[in-house]
Chains A and B, each alone.
Chain A
Amino acid sequence: MPIYDVGYRRWSGQLTSAWSRWWMIAESGIRIALKSNWIKRVSLACWLPIIYWGAGFLIFERFNDPSFNEVVMQSGGESKSKSDRAARELSERLSQAQSKMVRNEVIEQIQRNFSGFPAIDKLVEGLQSSDVGEVRHTFWTWMLMTYFRYPQITALIFLLGFVTPSLIARDFRSRGLFIYFSRPIGRWEYIFGKFMVPASFLLTITTLPALVLYVLGVFVSPSITVVLSTWDIPFRILLASIVVIVPTVSLALMLSSLTQESRFATFGWFAVWALGQGAWLALWITAVDPNSPASQMAAIQKFSSISLYNVLGSAQSWAFGFEDFGNIYHNLLILLVITLVSLTVLFRRISKFVHI
């Protein structure tokens, strides 16, 4: 056989499993998305907040570090007669009292400065516990919840707005669907493959940094045994990620499938968030009594279902253990409906294209 044979050659190798085809779709989608410098920049920028939250973990663990307390003890309650046992006990008591004072001061500061943040009461309650493990668990989960709630949802909105609108719209426009469906590929495999493109980006900018924060917390904590009291946090991170990723990606893909012009899908995507949040704010302002904090909270809860942002926030609070299921089940139901409707519409749109 010649070294360079331009003729046709039969092929009889081993094919990969039929179950891996969706990954081929996802992988090619990720590679195409990463050709855009904007998407690369946004993805990198999404990691910046980790510095701020990481600093929070570091400060908290320094505060809980016994050697740190020792420094406090030495500076506050140092006895002149160190060999005297009674004096030493007195000194320890004094230092504990001082440490408690410092802690109360910190809690007060948190309460004052972060009063508008979700589940702040539960955080304060947890921090007042005498069990260090419980304090740590409460603080870490609250930090991670706020990490998901504020920077990462904002990052998610922008990143999905960049990545998803073109995913299916461009396949419609360029009739690329023929390429997929002339192969041994089913419609659900196609949808799952496309789903995994933005989902992979979101996992990279939400789940992965959150897990990094958790690992950082473990490393800067006094002992590796903190894992025993915080073992559920990685699972909560995964749950919170799923709760966020599944409905938002489904919705974004559905919008992408409704048009051949990806810019309309982009517009639709941002409109969903802007209109939801705008409507919620308008209703909140008209309903709230500025002199009554109780009415503010009631108004927030009453109209929160209008805004997808708030719905996701409630679901995340539940995932991190700051809300009871009974209080937020309607929000989970909304997310479930969004997911099911989006996937149904998506499936029907693709079926229609392939069949006619």
Chain B
Amino acid sequence: MPPLISLSKVSKRYGSLPVLREVDLEIGPGVTGLLGPNGAGKSSLIKMLMGLISVNSGTGMILGHPLGKHGRQVRAKVGYVPEEDCYIPGMTGIEAVQFAACLSGFPRIEAIRRAHEILDFCGTKQERYRAIETYSTGMRQKIKFASAIVHDPEFLILDEPTSGLDPEERELLLNRIRTLADMTGKSVILSTHILPDVQQICDQVVILAKGQVRLNRSFEELDRPSSPTLLITLLNNREPFMDAARRKGMEVELALNGQLRVSGDLETLPARVWQLAAESGATIQAIKPAKNSLEEIFIAAVQEASNANL
């Protein structure tokens, strides 16, 4: 399947300040996490994808349209949740979603019907009839999300969609995003600082730092360590276990949360670990294949960009 978004050598400057530097990027179907520190160029990249800002150089295709052209057609296919707390004063929640549908070309009656349907999907109840100015941040976030999906876009760009949500609502929103991707085939870009959100629902991750794409891989590839590794949780005798493993020439190191990372041949490794535990008198609580930490990958990518003195 061809990528939905493909960019080649795309650069953007605001005056003399470069915000995107020769960005090469391909985004396919599924949920893509867009990560990057503040000032990395994420918002500029999103606005560029939506056809709101022009680029200084580079080419690309966005949802079948050439980069920098047909901005309206692109926006008609995109549902966008801005990072900013934005609303139209004087409207109720239901009116805001209906208005968003009307702006996308829905007839008025169909828009109100659809708005109710989407607010049901988003778990908004009678508060939909309240003035939007009286909403909490989390409620407004829900209205923004509902407005973004009301016109049934094929592509969603969600900029910090979980900010301001309580843990339960956050979980529900992430589930909704995953449902939309799985059940209706929508493609999603999730721009966020919350790494567990990305880890929970994304298929692919793009890390942007200092205006450049530092990493663009699927989670499947990212999760896989460079060598087979097990993550072991011990209840006792951790030091004797580590000494015994080292004596037998196995690579072992202390990971986060007191867990141990043991590398070696994956076929024989579990049996050897059980044997080591028996020898050292350690009690194993859990053994699972180790995955790379997104946090470590993110920090490494950002540091790499800093070291490159961009």
Q: Which residues of A contact B (CB under 8 A)?
A: 6-18, 21, 24-25, 28, 32, 35, 166, 170-171, 173-186, 354-356
Contacts and interface: CB of A to CB of B under 8 A. Distances in A.
A23 to B, nearest CB: 9
B72 A174 contact: no
A261 to B, nearest CB: 13
B89 interface: yes
Nearest to B131: A35
B6 to A, nearest CB: 22
B72 A13 contact: no
Contacts of A13: 106-107, 110
A22 to B, nearest CB: 10
Nearest to A181: B52
Given A166-B89, A178-B82, 19 more contacts: A8-B149, A8-B179, A10-B184, A15-B105, A24-B99, A28-B88, A28-B91, A174-B87, A175-B82, A175-B85, A175-B86, A176-B88, A176-B89, A178-B86, A179-B96, A180-B103, A182-B50, A186-B72, A354-B52
B147 interface: yes
Given A24-B99, A28-B99, A11 B152 contact: yes
Contacts of A25: 103
Contacts of A32: 88-91
Given A28-B88, A179-B147, A184-B72, A9 B104 contact: no
B86 A184 contact: no
Contacts of B96: 179
B103 A24 contact: yes
Given A16-B107, A18-B105, A354-B52, A182 B75 contact: yes
A11 B82 contact: no
B121 A175 contact: no
Contacts of A28: 88, 91, 95, 99, 102
Contact of A174 (B89, B99, B102): B89
B47 interface: yes
B120 A179 contact: no
Main secondary structure of the interface of A (DSSP, over half): loop
Counting chain A CB atoms within 10 Å of each CB, which of B14, B117, B149 scores highest? B117
A6 B120 CA distance: 5
Interface in B67-114: 72-73, 75-76, 78, 80, 82, 84-91, 95-96, 99-100, 102-107, 110, 114
Given A18-B105, A175-B85, A183 B100 contact: yes
B224 to A, nearest CB: 33
Given A8-B180, A15-B105, A183-B100, A176 B72 contact: no
Contacts of A18: 72, 105
B184 A179 contact: no
Contact of A176 (B87, B118, B149): B87
Q: In which size bucket is the chain B interface?
A: 35 or more
Nearest to B85: A175
Interface string B161-189: 00000000000000000011001100000
Given A11-B114, A178-B82, A24 B87 contact: no
12 contacts: A10-B152, A15-B105, A15-B106, A28-B99, A166-B89, A174-B88, A175-B82, A175-B84, A179-B86, A182-B78, A184-B73, A185-B103
A355 B47 CA distance: 8
B121 A6 contact: yes
A175 B72 CA distance: 20
Interface in B132-153: 147-149, 151-152
B53 interface: yes
Interface in B174-206: 179-180, 183-184
Nearest to A176: B88
B86 A176 contact: yes
Contacts of A35: 90
B67 to A, nearest CB: 16
B199 to A, nearest CB: 24
B105 A21 contact: yes
Nearest to B74: A184
B86 A15 contact: no
B76 A184 contact: yes
Q: Top 4 closest A-B pairs, CB basis?
A: A15-B105, A175-B86, A32-B90, A182-B80
Interface hub of A16, A166, A185 (most chain B Cβ within 10 A) = A16
A62 B151 CA distance: 60
B62 to A, nearest CB: 14
A355 B106 CA distance: 27
B52 to A, nearest CB: 6
A18 B103 CA distance: 9
Contacts of A356: 14
A16 B87 contact: no
A179 B87 contact: yes
Contact of A16 (B85, B105, B118): B105
Contacts of B151: 11
Nearest to B80: A182
Interface in B3-27: 14
Contacts of A14: 107
A289 B205 CA distance: 81
A312 B152 CA distance: 48
Contacts of A176: 86-89
Contacts of A171: 88
Contact of B184 (A8, A180, A185): A8
Nearest to B132: A174
